[in-house]
Amino acid sequence: MDCHRVKKILVPFLEGELSEKLKANVQAHLKVCVHCQKERELLSKSWQMLDSYVAPKLKDDFTPSLMRRIHSEQAKIIKVTYRLPQFSLQRLAPVLTLMLIMVLTFSLFWKEQIGKEKLAKVTSPVSREAVTITEAVTTITDEEIIRDLDIYENIEVLENMELASEFDIVEGWEETTS
């Protein structure tokens, strides 16, 4: 067995994981090879040296400190759950704003549409007459009514006067004939 092969199986050899035959071959090689002996020694020593790396002692208040941290985290979770509706409202603000804008736009559009419909009604011939009557009715004042009544009365008086004169003429003719 050569050094390259021994180096490859030196770790399992030290772990005692080799077959008896292979183990015997490695042992035979190690007896005669100083380089591989050194290699084995280095492997063993470096592995043993790990013992010196001992972790420091943990603080005595580890468990109480951990429990405080856990309870504080739980309190935070409860707080977050309680504040959840406020959080939702905040998130809803842009949606509500958008809805408001949409309602305003729609109302403006609706108003404009109603105006157009009114104009269309006004421009039609049937409705125009109705509108003029309505306008005449709505614009007429009391003074105008009184003035118109006077005119009609005057006309009536004049007509009566004509009748009276005619009556006088007839009466005058009867007198002359009698």
Partner 1 sequence: MDYFDEDIRLMLRFQDGEESCFEQLVERHKDRVFNLAYRFLGNYAEAEDLAQEIFMKIYRAKKTYRPKAKFTTWLYAICKNTCLKELRKKKPEIVSLHERIELQEDTVTHQIADSHIPSPSVSTLNNEQTLVVKEAIDSLPANQKMAVILYRYDRLSYEEIAKVIGCSVKAVKSLLHRAKINLKEKLADYFKI
| Residues in contact with partner 1 by the rule CB under 8 A | 11-12, 17, 42-43, 45-47, 49-59, 62-63, 65-67, 69-70, 73
The C-alpha atoms of residue 127 and residue 117 are separated, in whole angstroms, by 13
Minimum CB distance to partner 1, residue 63 (Å)? 5
Q: Angle CA(90)–CA(91)–CA(94) in degrees, nearest 5?
A: 95
Minimum CB distance to partner 1, residue 39 (Å)? 8
How far, in Å, are 15, 24, 162, 173, 177 from residue 170 at the CA level? 164, 176, 12, 5, 11
* Of residues 69 and 111, the one with the C-beta less far from partner 1: 69
* Of residues 51 and 142, the one with the C-beta less far from partner 1: 51
List, as own/partner pairs, every contact residues 118-127 make where C-beta atoms lie below 8 angstroms and the sequence separation is at least 24, other chains included: none
* Of residues 15 and 174, the one with the C-beta less far from partner 1: 15
Minimum CB distance to partner 1, residue 97 (Å)? 39
* Of residues 31 and 59, the one with the C-beta less far from partner 1: 59
Residue type, 46: S
The C-alpha atoms of residue 3 and residue 53 are separated, in whole angstroms, by 32
Minimum CB distance to partner 1, residue 7 (Å)? 9
